Amino acid sequence: MSQPATATGKLLTPFNLITAAILAVGGVITVLRFFVSGLAGTTNLTDTYPWGLWIGFDVMSGVALAAGGFVISSAVYLFGMKEYKPLVRPAILTGFLGYSLVVVGLLYDLGRWYRLPYPFVVKPGPTSMLFEVGLCVALYLTTLAIEFSPAALEWLGWKRLRQLVGSLTIALTILGLILSTMHQSSLGALFLITPTKLHPLWYSSHLPVHFFISAVAGGLGMIIIESALSHRVFHDQVEISGERFSQLTVGLAKAAAVTLAVYLAVKVIGIAMDDKWHWLASGYGGWYLVEMLGFVALPCFLFVIGYRERRLGAIRVAAVLTVLGIVLNRLNVAIFAFNWQLPAAERYFPSWMELWVTVSIVTAGVWIFRFIVKRMPILHEHPEWRGQH
């Protein structure tokens, strides 16, 4: 593809109308949340459940699913798997948007949202795990912004700055890998202080390891889904052939199969280590088995079959199951299996406004992704910068 595709098109499409309506209602709720009734009027959060959907989904799941950026850029620039280079920019963009929306979701959840920079500039708490997560996310978001900037600079035609940023690629990739490893695992470490609140099947002294491995699997799943959708929706932008794209998808399936197999093994060893087998016979045990068998073992099996038989359909189903499984795991840890001993009447369920804000944030992400992909060289290389970092 040598010509940048046109960004103009019909404005009144069903997609635009539906998403605009979602965002309009989300805007009204935003005004209510920040300027009228606060957290109490818009959420079902309590002192028992200070973290709800906006943390469980928008932050915990958002960070995990944005892991594709560091996974694929590390594979290409650090481990020499250069055949996957066409997937780097879409993955970096997905990661950049994902982390940006994580911060947006965090702002909704913070009572005094305007104090977000306080831990860095006013009163640091370097002994807190939350401080480490916040610092790493802030630094990694900055790293992702710089990693993404070549596409924007090529689009703007700022050649000297583009050249400078391009020369930083390896350093940025290493920094991104370190920061991601740290905060993906630290998000799990946040729950290490909750052994009496989190159900024993989900609680483990190895939660940081579980979170990190599952984030890698979730990131790979997101890359497969996002690239398949982009290939279909933005086919006029895509440069690589359908055959090569299929080869890359199949290659990712192998990585995802091994990652999920390792994750499953680590989880089983965790059950054995703390002798939690008897918990599997309870109601929560059934729910745990649904997560492990339906959203870890099954997608692992489908990835294996998809890789061996070159079945793209099986690989995409497996990717969807993997992503759903990571979301389910984060929701289980943060919400469903949290405060599990409380009676049903005292359990948390998100209000419709919390759900709507979450849907609005995801919708905004899709809009911004579409806006950028239609204009900047994300799915194709800029003719003047072909073959460069």
Partner 1 sequence: MYHVLQEFMTATKGMCYVLSFGLLVIFVPFWLFLSEREKDDTSLPDKDEH
Q: Give the footprint of partner 1 on this chain (CB under 8 A).
A: 81-86, 244, 246-248, 250-251, 254, 257-258, 261, 265, 268-269, 272-273, 275, 304, 307-308, 310
Alpha-carbon span 311 to 236, nearest angstrom: 24
CB neighbours of residue 184 within 10 Å: 26
Nearer to partner 1, 191 or 307 (CB): 307
Nearer to partner 1, 120 or 277 (CB): 277
Nearer to partner 1, 44 or 247 (CB): 247
Nearer to partner 1, 201 or 328 (CB): 201
Nearer to partner 1, 162 or 267 (CB): 267
Q: How far is the CB of 81 from partner 1 (least distance, A)?
A: 8
Nearer to partner 1, 11 or 272 (CB): 272
Q: How far is the CB of 265 from partner 1 (least distance, A)?
A: 4
Alpha-carbon span 131 to 62, nearest angstrom: 18
Alpha-carbon span 275 to 201, nearest angstrom: 10
Q: How far is the CB of 47 from partner 1 (least distance, A)?
A: 37
Q: How far is the CB of 272 from partner 1 (least distance, A)?
A: 5
CB neighbours of residue 127 within 10 Å: 7
Alpha-carbon span 162 to 125, nearest angstrom: 37
Alpha-carbon span 267 to 270, nearest angstrom: 5
Closest by CA position to 26, among listed 105, 115, 113: 105
Q: How far is the CB of 260 from partner 1 (least distance, A)?
A: 11
How is residue 357 written in tokens? 């804000």
State the Cα torsion 50-56-58-63 to the nearest 10°.
120
Contacts of 241 (CB under 8 A, 6+ apart): none
Phi, psi of 47 (to 5 degrees): -65, -30
In Å, what is the CA distance from 49 to each residue of 79, 109, 112, 339? 42, 12, 17, 8
Nearer to partner 1, 41 or 383 (CB): 383
Q: How far is the CB of 207 from partner 1 (least distance, A)?
A: 16
Nearer to partner 1, 47 or 243 (CB): 243
Q: How far is the CB of 262 from partner 1 (least distance, A)?
A: 8
State the Cα torsion 291-178-121-105 to the nearest 10°.
-30
Q: How far is the CB of 277 from partner 1 (least distance, A)?
A: 9
How is residue 231 written in tokens? 């290939």
Q: How far is the CB of 13 from partner 1 (least distance, A)?
A: 35
Q: How far is the CB of 191 from partner 1 (least distance, A)?
A: 21
Instruction: Please report, as a single letter, which amino acid is at residue 144.
Output: L
In Å, what is the CA distance from 243 to each residue of 196, 252, 310, 349? 52, 14, 11, 45
Nearer to partner 1, 159 or 308 (CB): 308
In Å, what is the CA distance from 351 to each residue of 29, 59, 102, 332? 12, 17, 19, 18
Nearer to partner 1, 254 or 370 (CB): 254
